[in-house]
Structure 1
Amino acid sequence: MSRRTKFAALAAASAASVAAVGLTASPAMAATVATGSLTLNNVPLLGTINCSSTLDGTKTSTTFTVTGATATGCGATVTAQNLPWSGTFGPPSTMYFAMKAAGCTYSGTLTGTTNAGPPRTITFTNQPVTGSGFPCFSGITVSATYTF
């Protein structure tokens, strides 16, 4: 292989590596689409968990996709699961939801209301979720308000 061919092959491999890193990093660079509050009600051993929450992803006039979700200030570790989530601006408004708290993943499709905006606000009130993992109990509900 000539020196020029080796250089061209190395340059092509480097460009492919840069492109792969760029593609891998793209989802992590999703914009914040909503901020708000999140409450998990009736959590075993903890009772009510109140958090501030941020949703990252994309939105259109009728739908949104959540590629990252945070819950902070909860007094317990709460982490997003099963991303991406999808949702719709109503009526009715819906959003798939899955968060892990106290060793259990609580998930389900939340149904709520949306104001006309702008900004648009979705409110979910006492929406039942199902727990999986150990120890999980029934009766957990989610209340949340997000401003898009």
Structure 2
Amino acid sequence: MCYKLGFSKTITLKKQYRELKTQEALFENIPKQLSLLKQKQVYYDSILLKYQLDGNSIQNSLLKTINAFSAENHLKVNGFLEPHVSTLNGVPLKTYQFSLIGEYNAIIKLIHKLEQQTKFGEIINVHFEKKKKYKTGKFYLEAFVLLRSFG
């Protein structure tokens, strides 16, 4: 009788008290966690802005960067193919292929910018070809570039 009247209620109230204390501890940490998440968001947004990866896909951002650089340095984007998608150890790899026509130094500057300043991925191959326009009899340089990106 004593157990039913006194002890059982005390035990259930003690269990409820422990549960409420753990919930209180969780709720006390929420403002700190929210502050940390906001700081992370600002940091990641600054990284995306720095490496020119706005909300678009990498393919759109890459093409936008190439076109902007080409306009400034008298390059011509001759082709931009759809990315080849494969997987390596469960990680998706995308390989972008594009071709450029222009001066050697301008092409090298673009390749350096893509690999070092924008962080789109790594340049895995650059193939240069000297071609001739038979209409005019002039020669021009065409570069075929392969850029590999993870994700």
TM-score, structure 2 as length reference: 0.28
Higher relative strand content: 1
Q: Please tell me whether Structure 1 or Structure 2 has the larger radius of gyration of its CA atoms.
A: 2
Q: TM-score normalised to the size of structure 1?
A: 0.29
- Higher share of residues assigned helix: 2
